[in-house]
Amino acid sequence: MSVVNPEVLEPAVPGAGGGGGAPVQRRITRRRLVLRRFLRNKTAVVGAVLILALGFLAAFGPLISAWDYNQVDRYAFLQPPDSRHPFGTTQSGQDVFALTMRGLQKSLLIGLLVAVFSTGIAAIVGSFAAYFGGWFERVALWIIDLLLVVPSFLIIAIMSSANRGGSNQSFFDRAVLLLPQWILLVVLLTLFGWMLAARVVRSLTLSVKEREYVQAAKFMGIPAPVIIVRHILPNISSLLIIDATLNVAGAILAETSLSFFGFGIKAPDTSLGALLGTGARQATTFPWLFVPAAVIVVLLILSVNAVGDGLRDALDPNSASGGRA
């Protein structure tokens, strides 16, 4: 009962054999059409290449490095870049390249997990609220409005500070200590990162649920969760894909900001934000402590946003590039 994406006909080509046969029109699937539109966007393609390169570094960079991120070279303190330490060393003798690769790995992991979880929550809450309506929708909208007005950055900073330890810890603080720092950050960023997308999903679901194939599925007695998952969400998947992509950049930027101010990832682990926070104090005298992490953060945010914009144009047939098949 779900809607099948329309196929597009490619320009006619002469028939085989060269004997003046009837022109043949080849059908092109929606997936291939979206890929063609995306590849036409050079900025998005460059962004995708950069993301792949940074992902490769995050996965294999620690294996390439001769040093572990928490290993100390006692003969090289604040050493500028050389053959032994391509990005130099810190004041404690740690290899900056190994630290940067570890930070990239951690920041990417946090960004991807937050994007997946927050987009999933937005899809579920928004679609179920619009489909069922009534008290369920009112409660969902009340929760969304409440979370939108609270100072999320301040709350995340306070809750993540519970991992600092101390003698006078509450039961909540001790419970939070059981979570690794980065998992706690994923949970908190997800908790405050799904509301706007849920509102958009709700608006689209209000329109999609009135279509004939959804009404027919209702009359056939198909359970509501099945209708939502199989017939409604696939028809708003373009929005979810774009939202998830842009959420990666938002989550990385949020983690970087929190860690920069000392509320995110803490030693002995590290992230790009933590490296920026420690390196910013000595950026003018020892630039190798700050520049590598800063360059990677800028490239990562710009490339993810470029891919998100490219996907939006490719998936939207009314956009400037989307209208050109």
14 — pLDDT class (breaks 50, 70, 90): low
- What residue has token string 């939108």? 148
4 — pLDDT class (breaks 50, 70, 90): very low
Instruction: Pick the range with the lowest mean pLDDT from 14-18, 209-213, 291-295.
Output: 14-18
- What are the angstrom distances between the C-alpha of 120 and each of 124, 239, 240? 6, 12, 8
- Do the Cβ atoms of 235 and 3 come closer than 8 Å? yes
Angle at 63 between CA 61 and CA 66, to 5 degrees: 100
Question: In this predicted structure, what is the pLDDT of residue 267?
Answer: 80
Average pLDDT score over residue span 138-164: 84
Give yes or no for residue 1 having a pLDDT over 50: no
Give yes or no for residue 276 having a pLDDT over 80: yes
Give yes or no for residue 106 having a pLDDT over 70: yes
2 — pLDDT class (breaks 50, 70, 90): very low
178 — pLDDT class (breaks 50, 70, 90): low
Average pLDDT score over residue span 165-170: 54
Average pLDDT score over residue span 102-127: 94
- What are the angstrom distances between the C-alpha of 223 and each of 1, 116, 132, 134? 14, 25, 12, 18
HEC assignment per residue over the chain: CCCCCCCEECCCECCCCCCCCCCECCEECHHHHHHHHHHHCHHHHHHHHHHHHHHHHHHHHHHHCCCCCCCECCCCCCCCCCCCCCCCECCCCEEHHHHHHHHHHHHHHHHHHHHHHHHHHHHHHHHHHHHHCHHHHHHHHHHHHHHHHCCHHHHHHHHHHHHHCCCCCCHHHHHHHCCCHHHHHHHHHHHCCCHHHHHHHHHHHHHHCCCHHHHHHHHCCCCHHHHHHHHHHHHHHHHHHHHHHHHHHHHHHHHHHHHHCCCCCCCCCCCHHHHHHHHHHHCCCCHHHCHHHHHHHHHHHHHHHHHHHHHHHHHCCCCCCCCCC
Residue of 22 and 139 predicted with greater confidence:
139
Q: What percent of the chain has pLDDT over 90?
A: 43
324 — pLDDT class (breaks 50, 70, 90): low
- Write the burial class of residue 298 (CB in 10 Å: 0-12 exposed, 13-18 middle, 19+ buried): exposed
Q: What is the mean pLDDT of the chain?
A: 84
Amino acid identity at 242 = I
Question: In this predicted structure, what is the pLDDT of residue 145?
Answer: 92
Question: In this predicted structure, what is the pLDDT of residue 65?
Answer: 84
Question: In this predicted structure, what is the pLDDT of residue 200?
Answer: 92
Average pLDDT score over residue span 100-114: 93
Per the structure block, which two tokens stand in for 309? 């914009």
Give yes or no for residue 251 having a pLDDT over 90: yes
pLDDT 10s digits, 123-133: 999 999 999 98
The model's pTM is 0.83
User: How many C-beta atoms surround the C-beta of residue 45 within 10 A?
Assistant: 15
Average pLDDT score over residue span 145-158: 87
Cα separation, 165 vs 180, whole angstroms: 13
- What residue has token string 């994007």? 115
Backbone dihedral angles phi then psi of residue 95, each to the nearest 5 degrees: -75, 125
Give yes or no for residue 222 having a pLDDT over 80: yes
25 — pLDDT class (breaks 50, 70, 90): low
Q: Structural domains in the chain?
A: 31-315 (1.10.3720.10)
For the chain, state the CA radius of gyration: 25
